Structures are given as C-alpha cells and as structure tokens.
Amino acid sequence: MGLLDISAIILAGGRGTRMGGVDKGMQGFSGKPLALHALQRLQVQREGPLGAVMINANRNLAAYEALGVPVWPDGLADYAGPLAGFLTGLEHCKTPYLMTLPCDTPLFPLDLVQRLAQALQREDGDIAMAAAPEEDGQLRAQPVFCLMRRELLGSLTRFTAQGGRKIDKWTSQHATVLVPFDAPGDDAKAFFNANTLDELHSLERP
C-alpha cells in the first residue's frame, strides 16, 4: 500500500458547541485556519503525497472551498457526528483506502498515515486506529483517527441508517488494529484536541 492509494478527509462538520458554537475549522492556529493547518500537515506526511484530500464541512462552504480541495457536507441530517463525516468520505473516496482525522487536533504526527498504513497492511485488517498515552501512561484509542478500506462503505451505510452514531460500536464490527503512538520522540500532545479557544491557544505555546 502506497500513500497514493489513500485519500484523506478532514472532519470540520461539527457544531463546535464547546467552543461557543464557532466553526472550528475556521479558527486560527499559528496564523492560519485549523482546516488549512491540517491540510498542509497532511501534505507533508512522510513518503510522499496522499492520493487526494477533501474536507467535510457543514458551514462556510465557500471559505473551505477556497482552501483548494473538494468540500463535502454531511449526507446525514442534524450534525450526526464524526461517523457522518466518515460516511461522506467513503462515499466520495476514489482510492482503496480512506484516512479520517479531525480539524481540531493540530499537532497530529507527521508520519500518522504512514504508520497506520504499515500496521493495516501488516495485520491485514479492515481499520487501523491510532492510540496515544493518557496522563496516567495508559494507551487510549483515538477513534477519529482511522485508516479504513473503502469497501466498508456498505457496512457504515447500514449502521448509520439504523441510527448508529458511535464510532467504536461500528469499528468493533470489523478487524480493527490499534496503532500505538508512544515511541520515543512521539509528541505527547500529538492527539490533544482543542475543545475551547483557550485550549487551542495553549497549543500554540511551546
């Protein structure tokens, strides 16, 4: 599996409730919108570019489109959560694999896609999911950071049509490989997601 076999979707379709209802992907981080920051961080993933990158957004579509990649709103109504973004990504994915990641975790690893792809191929799984250490040192799954086979579209369509909205309940139906990001040199803040503007600004400080 090469990176050109993988598309990615940046999830920016949430309500941003804990951020006061703002559009998270348009909030500034290091002088640029979070969605653009994520896009550029994806473009410098090790071992070359991805096959394609798209954004899942439900507001400010013109602003997202100005970032230069396709923008797709949820197909499910009423801000149905991250799985709605997964579904949107799979529906528009033209490559064998899809990478999903949120817009509000600006320090995600620069070798994220590479390491998930290696694990998925090694284990011959359906989904590779990142896992990162908590403050107590225990690894915790990061379910929004997934690399999955495009063939899972039918499964996710059925799951969401039946009202399913929990990522782990869906991924548990498939061969899911947890990929630890706790090696020496891995950033302890790599998977910290900013739920408030204060948390976001704190990540800008070294």
- According to CATH, the superfamily of the domain at 3-204 is Spore Coat Polysaccharide Biosynthesis Protein SpsA; Chain A (3.90.550.10)
pLDDT tens-digit readout, 77-97: 877 789 999 999 999 999 999
pLDDT over 80 (residue 163)? yes
Count CB-CB contacts under 10 A for residue 120: 25
pLDDT at 187: 92
Count CB-CB contacts under 10 A for residue 204: 12
Cα separation of 77 and 42, whole Å? 28
pLDDT at 172: 97
